[in-house]
Chain A
Amino acid sequence: MQRFFAKSGICDKPCFMIVELGHFALILAFAVALVQAVIPLVGAHKGWRDWMVIANPMATTQFLLVAFSYAALTYAFIVSDFSVKLVVDNSHTLKPLIYKISGVWGNHEGSLLLWVLTLTLFGACAAWFGGNLPATLQARVLAVQSAITAAFIAFTVFTSNPFTRLAAPPFDGTDLNPLLQDPGLAFHPPFLYLGYVGLSMSFSFAVAALIEGRVDAAWGRWVRPWTLAAWVFLTIGIATGSWWAYYELGWGGFWFWDPVENASLMPWLFAAALLHSAIVVEKRETLKSWTILLAILGFGFSLMGTFIVRSGLLTSVHAFAMDPERGVFILMILAAFMGGALTLFAFRAPVLEAKGVFATVSRESALVINNVLLAVSSFVIFIGTMWPLFAEMLFDRVLSVGPPFFNMAFTPFMVALAMVLPIGAMLPWKRGNLTRTMRPLWGLAVFSVAMGALTWALQTGNSPLVPIGLALAVWVVLGSIADLWSRTGRGDFGGRMRRLTRLPRADWGKATAHAGLGISVFAVASLMGWETEDIRVVQIGESYQKGAYTLTLQSVDRVQGPNYVSTMAVIEATRDGRHVATLRPEKRFYPVAGMPTTQAAIDYRIMRDLYVTLGDPQDNGGWAVRTYIKPFANWLWFGCFLMALGGIFSLSDRRYRVAAGASKEPRAAVPAE
């Protein structure tokens, strides 16, 4: 591209005009988005086909324009164009290339552009793969999606322009926040955004269906893959964020109930509720208005999350923007879309008549309970997150709502969810019989409780946390396996095994994701209940005991990194005289940003993590060292991975693939022989 511009004489090398072109492309995309938000709606209303189908090429155009704009900004970061303010504030010539690229979204303006890019990508996907949607529905979906895009481009261009130039460019940048210069955090935001923004697609489908006045099984089938994809992305995003906090913040915490974390957990819970209730719409044509409401609120919580992060209203570890003007703008977007959608919902919901009749004991009812638990737990997090603001504004009380509250208020819902999950998952549709469903499960229930009791008897201390967590986990995991096994019907073992491999991928997805939840529950319980810590001063050459391990501080050296200096200790861990691991905890200092960071050294094992951080040098020549044994820490990430994998299995189920490709790519005709 550079060569092209150089040849064409537009600019010299390196091509700095690309930034202006990117800026221009973004504004052009805004114009396209505005048109796309109106024309297809009118077309769908009047039944003018060409006004409807114009949405497809426009969605593609929008995506290409924003992608160019994003590429232009990335280019400015890669070539370190310090005449761009954003690059100066968030980059440095010495920074490794990968963090130059991730630096694009490691700040408010750039991350908004990424947000817009994802919005247009999802819109374009709906245009590319939505060929089998009814023309009016597709046109309306694309129009609503485009309205959201237009609002966010306006937000970007008018309040947070990433392309702002500096009149006097400095020689070098001020570097990206060192905490963000890390592979875990480099990929955490894009996944989170794919998740947040994926929910915009469910929202667009919900609003389009309300305008249309029709929600049927087909609608349920179309909206589910988008929700599922959004949920998978959110799961990955939250898990990478949590993993990052675990190894980067220096004491191995994985969840802090920080407003910003809550902002991502709330849409996750809503997406989980939505993808379950969409099954009911798809299979049984009931819970329609509730599902629509969930889709609207799910995106509402995404926007709320954005508002919380961007406004800096509730300050927290991650907030990188603290500009009230931006907060007000987001609040306006939130009010406009939620107000509009909910008003539409109030008028149209009565039209959506439920079809399927079901007994009180049935899969439908179980999924309603699932939705109640997920939605209420999400609202509880919402209330807890907003409470300090509320109390200060209305009652003039400055207070905090921290982890103790959230742990107490949120945990019971998850416990209840885990308890009913295996039963609900195996109840038949329409009319169930609790005695019959429970018959294969009683044994598992007794076994799980016995495992919990055994754990309680064997552990030191009498905290019930881990025994309960373990019992629930065993119950959920074995329940998922029992569910899968029960789908193979009757017959001999070999026949059932064969059928097991031929089960629909959705069944595998369901079992995998549920088992993942169980494993995560156990890991959280064991980290909270069984973690042990040791803080001490260690002289160089000195050994100390932690659990079954003997740790020896061998040396502390200075190491020069690409854009930091590091104080690195070498600690050897042995067990019964045998080498286990060499740990290298670091304290880094980033001179440009003027910030120290802690790099924990972790020996990852299946049963435990050995986690060591290096503290300060002491007056007597020793070093402060913290050592933790974190039992089953890896199981948390593994559980999250299983949940995401389960979602991917479900997403690849035949019924979605067939639906997605049906009209677009007719099978190649088999030539007659």
Chain B
Amino acid sequence: MIRALTFLIAVALAVPALAVQPDEILDDPALESRARDISAGLRCLVCRNESIDESNADLARDMRLLVRERLVEGDSDAEVMAFVVERYGEYVLLRPTTDGINIVLWIAAPVLFLIALGSSLLYLRSRASAQEPTNSGLSPEEEARLKELLKD
């Protein structure tokens, strides 16, 4: 009896499960695949770092339905995105925009790479033209002092 009860509770509690539900799927495969692409780029607000496409949360389901609703009404992908962002804020975008300070984030990779490549090339050229140290790398003064010391 207890077990049956636990089972019932289990089923009841486990209701939000498995991301996209069969009943959400649009009949038009082209539209559905656009919906999937859009949802993969939108963050579930109540989850930790999951897109609404992956999330089991009820809110994510609402957002998925919203995206599909807009698509069915003929919005373009960009319009759907803009609509969702207007409603939920910039936070939902898993791919950050390029406006304002965000441009720094986007150009960080190429800029860092160019700086690193440039400085390493300079270093490599300096190594190529450097002289193999013939001695222990001591200055003439140190060399002289070493001789002094070794005399003793």
CB nearest neighbor in B for A372: B116
The answer to whether A591 and B9 touch (CB under 8 A), given A360-B128, A397-B101, A615-B17, is yes
Contact of A358 among B11, B43, B92, B127 (CB under 8 A): B127
Q: Which of B50, B91, B112, B116 sits near A399, CB closer than 8 Å?
A: B91
Q: Are A400 and B92 in contact (CB under 8 A)?
A: yes
A-B contact count (CB 8 A): 168
A535 vs B109: C-alpha distance when bound (angstroms): 38
Given A259-B49, A379-B112, A365:B124 Cβ within 8 A: yes
Q: Is the CB–CB distance between A400 and B125 below 8 Å?
A: no
* Residues in B whose Cβ lies below 8 Å from that of A257: 49
Distance of A319 Cα from B49 Cα, bound (Å):
11
* Measured CA separation A560–B9 after assembly (Å): 14
Contacts of B51 in A (CB 8 A): 402-403
Given contact pairs A397-B100, A400-B91, A405-B95, A537 touches B10 in the complex (Cβ within 8 A): no
Contact yes or no, B127 A357, CB < 8 A:
yes
Chain B residues within an 8 Å CB radius of A402: 41, 43, 49, 51, 93-95
CB contact list, B54-95 vs A, under 8 A: 54, 89-95
The reply to whether B13 and A358 form a contact with Cβ atoms under 8 Å apart is no
A258 CB-CB contact with B under 8 Å: yes
Question: Chain A interface mostly helix, strand, loop or mixed?
Answer: mixed
Contact of B48 among A315, A384, A395 (CB under 8 A): A315
In the complex the two chains form, what is the Cα distance from A412 to B117 in whole Å? Answer: 15
Contacts of A387 in B (CB 8 A): 96, 105
Contact digits for B22-54, partner A, Cβ 8 Å, 1 yes 0 no:
110100000000000000010100001111001
- Report if A535-B92 is in contact (Cβ < 8 Å); known contacts: A256-B49, A376-B109: no
CB of B108 within 8 A of CB of A380, answer yes
Query: Does A580 reach chain B (CB closer than 8 Å)?
Result: no
B10 and A400: CB pair below 8 A?
Answer: no
Can you name the residue of chain A whose Cβ is closest to the Cβ of B112? A376
A613 CA to B95 CA, complexed, in Å? 28
Q: A405-B95, A409-B109 are in contact. Are A376 and B116 (CB under 8 A)?
A: yes
In the complex, which residues of chain B have a beta carbon less than 8 angstroms from the beta carbon of A397?
A: 90, 100-101
CB nearest neighbor in B for A355: B133
The 3 closest A-B pairs by CB, nearest first: A402-B94, A589-B10, A404-B95
24 contacts between A and B (CB under 8 A): A251-B18, A251-B19, A257-B49, A286-B127, A316-B49, A357-B127, A358-B128, A360-B128, A364-B127, A379-B108, A379-B112, A395-B100, A397-B90, A397-B100, A398-B90, A399-B97, A402-B95, A409-B108, A413-B113, A560-B3, A589-B11, A589-B14, A596-B10, A615-B22
Extra pairs beyond A250-B17, A379-B112 (17, CB < 8 Å): A250-B18, A251-B54, A316-B49, A356-B132, A358-B127, A358-B128, A368-B120, A372-B116, A372-B117, A376-B112, A376-B116, A398-B89, A402-B43, A412-B109, A565-B10, A589-B10, A596-B17
Residues of B within 8 A of A (CB): 3, 6-7, 9-11, 13-15, 17-23, 25, 41, 43, 48-51, 54, 89-97, 100-102, 105-106, 108-109, 112-113, 116-117, 120, 123-125, 127-128, 130-133, 137
